[in-house]
Chain A
Amino acid sequence: MTHVKITMAQALNQALRDAMKADDTVLMFGEDVGALGGVFRITDGLTAEFGEDRCFDTPLAESGIVGMAVGLAMNGMRPVVEMQFDAFGYPAFEQIVSHVAKMRNRTRGRVALPMVIRMPYAGGIGGVEHHCDSSESYYAHTPGLTVVAPATVADAYTLLRKAIEFPDPVVFMEPKKLYWAKEEVDLTEDQPGIGTAVVRREGADATLIAYGPSVPVALEAAEVAAAEGRQLTVVDLRSIVPFDDETVCAAVRRTGRAVVVAEASGFASVSSEIVARVTERCFHSLAAPIRRVTGFDIPYPPPKLEKYQLPGVDRILDAVDDLQWEDS
């Protein structure tokens, strides 16, 4: 039992370091991940420790990075690539959707692609245009991909380790604004695996369903609600695909009311999927329609305006207030 107080960025760095130590075939590459250690320092020190063959910079071309990772994974390696910023991953979209996601299916399971695409994502860091997209819905919509989004420091470590060990490709969404969040954690402690959601807080009145950067906001809202006399459950999805219907639906059935919280624009999104599938499965347990607190259907705003886009505690509490309490 060794408890350490570290940031999510340090936990991710440690996960990469431990994975590379444990398995010689794990390679880390992308833009500025070598000497610089990544623009967010997630790969800090890896080139120095493991050498240029294991952690290296590539030409600045995201499709090439992901395409090369496909070939490396086909030939015995476990590549981990960094897309630097969410919106910088779009040049690789064809590779991800047409090849990373489909290779296993196309070859009837003969060619598996054990690879991780690390995607620093979402807003809240005052980033300029193209640096703050919540792009998870694109990947979640693509059959064949596994999409993971940690919300805690402990999960950042565990889920990245498990993603690297996973036999299939994982899109690993790292909430940028949580990179500097500090927690006291025991990294040796085993956490639930990919595909399992976790109840972060129990409360009988309503359920907040969140993932990635929205989990701490949901927990804060639950804290405030408790002070006001309303007890909220908070479910942290951890993995968007596979989706843990069981944990989510159990929480919604217990509470009868739910709000989904996500930074991404709401239209045709992970949040709309959650509302649809929970409604289909839990309709008779619901005392009110499920509400959503999401980003507006607009391009991610410039830094001076982003506060209007991000789901905050007040908006979440307003949505909870709207869950037709007068009928119960």
Chain B
Amino acid sequence: MTTVEERLLPSAEPVRLIDQDGVPHDHPSYRLPTKEALLDGYAQLIKGRRINDQASALVRQGRLAVYPSSHGQEACQVAATMVMREGDWLFPTYRDTVSIVSRGVDPIETLTLLRGDWHSGYDPYARKVAPQSTPLATQLTHAVGVAHAARLKGEDTVVMALCGDGATSEGDFHEALNFAAVFHAPVVFFIQNNEYAISVPLARQTVAPSLAHKGIGYGVPGERADGNDLAGLLAVLGQAVDKARAGEGPQLVEAHTYRVQAHTNADDATRYRNDDEVTPWLERDPIKRLETYLMQEGLLDDSVRQRADAAAEEVAAELRDGLMPDPSVDPADLFAHLYSEQTQQLKEQAAFLRDELAREEA
């Protein structure tokens, strides 16, 4: 017999199936993913890291306005989408470029927001990926609505809703968890706790034992995993998705990870943290530990590694080629999409700008 509390509270320690030295560990509730899943995940991690670092380089070259990197958090990025099925919805934030691309969205369209040629570049319906959210938690209630609609239609869609540790202080985080619980909506709330909200450390967000503990207040089961262990994340998120799909209601998962780089290129992390805090986290890198494990198991040979590197290089080249030319923007777009039918006032303002530009050209 388990009590309600036991069912809702997370494990005593974050679930970790492969430790930072690449050593596998048994867990009473979770099993190591298949070697196929881990090899696929490995290739995706390599690609995710390459996307992050290429995009950061493109900021330095002035090709992107800004890039909030998930460098070091790639296991979370990749695991979130690996456990999803075709037809499931992803609700990402601004730091989830790698997740979005992993979901099959065109990388250049994904970076539209950060390139600055529009607020969102991809068709959300094509891959069931909502526009990236920058106000931290507002997307979580949208995720509940999408999940509830799916339930009303009798579809077995699961919605993967991403947010960070800072977002758990926002009211919408709490409203979303509560609404999802009350309406039994199939949402997996996945918090990537990277310890920082720009400069503010987790200790200033909450004194809760963990962010996964926040589920109990809403009757939502919480679980936590080592956010740099792809194996543990796949097991925990996979189970959460299965439960949500099976009609067990929303699930809350917290990944313990770390933002090893600054918030964005515009941020100076040396103003609020020391390098000796960062260094141990570099040792916990998600790629390194999986690589060590796969090599020890004899699963990773040069050909696998070369294939992964080549695929990563391909997407990096795609980013460079796609982002090097200046984006084409059309000022008429500014007025074109507010309403299904353009208002008279917007027609007049569009004409005003058109005339102004024509005069400048003449």
Are B124 and A110 in contact, with the CB atoms below 8 A? yes
Which stretch (B73-81, B174-182, B250-258) binds chain A? B174-182
Closest-by-CB residue of A relative to B113 is: A106
Residue B259 CB within 8 A of the other chain: no
Q: Which residues of A contact B118 (CB under 8 A)?
A: 106, 108
Are A67 and B142 in contact, with the CB atoms below 8 A? yes
Closest-by-CB residue of B relative to A106 is: B119
Counting chain B CB atoms within 10 Å of each CB, the highest count among A63, A69, A79, A103 belongs to A63
Are A110 and B123 in contact, with the CB atoms below 8 A? yes
Residue A2 CB within 8 A of the other chain: no
Closest-by-CB residue of B relative to A27 is: B152
Residue A299 CB within 8 A of the other chain: no
Distance in angstroms between the alpha carbons of A76 and B144 in the assembled complex: 14
Distance in angstroms between the alpha carbons of A147 and B124 in the assembled complex: 26
Residue B294 CB within 8 A of the other chain: no
Are A94 and B145 in contact, with the CB atoms below 8 A? no
Q: Mark A49-69, 1 if CB is under 8 A from B, else 0.
A: 000010000110101101111
Residue A302 CB within 8 A of the other chain: no
- Nearest CB of chain B from residue A81's CB, rounded to whole Å: 11
Evaluate whether A195 and B124 lie within 8 angstroms (CB atoms) in the complex, with A76-B149, A77-B152 already known.
no
Are A64 and B344 in contact, with the CB atoms below 8 A? no
In the complex, which residues 69-121 of chain A have their Cβ closer than 8 Å to any Cβ of chain B?
A: 69-77, 79, 91, 94-95, 98-99, 102-112
Q: Which residues of B contact A102 (CB under 8 A)?
A: 119
- Nearest CB of chain A from residue B333's CB, rounded to whole Å: 7
Q: Name the contact of A168 in the complex, choosing from B124, B149, B153, B339 (C-beta under 8 A).
A: B339
Residue A295 CB within 8 A of the other chain: no
Residue A243 CB within 8 A of the other chain: yes
Number of A residues whose C-beta is below 8 Å from B? 47
Residue B198 CB within 8 A of the other chain: no
Q: How many A-B residue pairs have CB under 8 A?
A: 138
- Nearest CB of chain B from residue A126's CB, rounded to whole Å: 31
Residue A266 CB within 8 A of the other chain: no
| Interface size class of chain B, counting residues whose CB lies under 8 Å from the partner chain | 35 or more
Residue A38 CB within 8 A of the other chain: no
Evaluate whether A67 and B175 lie within 8 angstroms (CB atoms) in the complex, with A77-B149, A107-B131, A110-B123 already known.
yes
Q: Name the contact of B145 in the complex, choosing from A73, A168, A243 (C-beta under 8 A).
A: A73
Q: Name the contact of A109 in the complex, choosing from B146, B176, B183, B337 (C-beta under 8 A).
A: B337
Q: Mark A6-47, 1 if CB is under 8 A from B, else 0.
A: 000000000000000000000100000000000000000000
Q: Name the contact of B130 in the complex, choosing from A69, A74, A246 (C-beta under 8 A).
A: A74
Residue B143 CB within 8 A of the other chain: yes
Are B338 and A143 in contact, with the CB atoms below 8 A? yes
Counting chain A CB atoms within 10 Å of each CB, the highest count among B130, B145, B183 belongs to B145
Distance in angstroms between the alpha carbons of A111 and B131 in the assembled complex: 10
Q: Name the contact of B124 in the complex, choosing from A58, A111, A242, A245 (C-beta under 8 A).
A: A111
Distance in angstroms between the alpha carbons of A105 and B334 in the assembled complex: 8
Evaluate whether A112 and B135 lie within 8 angstroms (CB atoms) in the complex, with A67-B142, A68-B145, A68-B148 already known.
no
Residue B325 CB within 8 A of the other chain: no
In the complex, which residues 133-178 of chain B have their Cβ closer than 8 Å to any Cβ of chain A?
A: 135, 138, 140-150, 152-153, 171-172, 175-176, 178
Please list the 7 inter-chain residue pairs (A to B) with the smallest Cβ-Cβ separation, ordered nearest first. Answer: A71-B145, A67-B141, A64-B175, A75-B149, A71-B142, A167-B340, A68-B145
